[in-house]
Amino acid sequence: MSTHINAAKKGQIANTVLLPGDPLRAKYIAENYLENAVCYSEIRNMLGYTGSYKGVPISVQGTGMGMPSMGIYSWELITEYGVENLIRIGTAGSFNEDIKIGDIVVAIAASTDSNYAHTFDLPGTYAPCVNYRLMAALYEASKASGIRFKAGNIVSCDTFYEVQEDWWKRWENMGVMAVEMETAALYMNAAFHGVNALAMMTISDHFVTGEKATTQEREREFTDMMELALETAIL
């Protein structure tokens, strides 16, 4: 079995999958954290690997950028490969002066400006949110590892380059911590199919201070997030 975007055969993907947007981050995790990692897909250079972490089978699959890409990869992982636990490990831009470059933020909920929810034909506005079981596992993993995170509402946006000046301040005024481009779609797909999803992001850009992480930092140096996600995955 394979799909038009994933070369994996049935049984090659673990029940729990880490989902970095950057496929090179998937490669880095596989090479540095997973034992006996095997690359199961290179289609579109969106790398996917399966190995084990502390004896537990774990997969890591790149998803690309934006809700359409996340929507496709997560949907197929759930419906074609039977994945039940999906943990996004991405990057985000902070709206809050106290949430700094390198901090980990966890999306309890994901506001969005996207029309992604239209596919579910809902009679109102849906609020995508984290799965409690994974959130509880994250809390325990954080206590054991000492890796801290900040949790709250984030916003998943369709547009990367906004033309309206200070557009983000309206979200910040509602207590939204940060912006990224994938979580709302992941949470909606997981809810629709009755599986578990959690999204954590390392802050790589700062809307208040103007700071930005380098490309190398984005790919390889956000290791606290990687380790926290792996520890969460095995609980």
Instruction: List, by residue number, the catalytic residues.
Output: 205
- Residue from 83, 137, 130, 141 nearest 106 by CA: 130
User: HSE of 120 in the Cβ direction (CA atoms, 13 Å)?
Assistant: 19
Q: Residue 43 class from Cβ within 10 Å (0-12 exposed, 13-18 middle, 19+ buried)?
A: middle
d(CA 89, CA 82) in angstroms, rounded, equals 20
Length of the chain: 235
Pairing of strands 48-53, 56-61: antiparallel
Report CA-CA distances (Å) from 76 to 1, 86, 107, 138, 213.
12, 12, 22, 25, 31
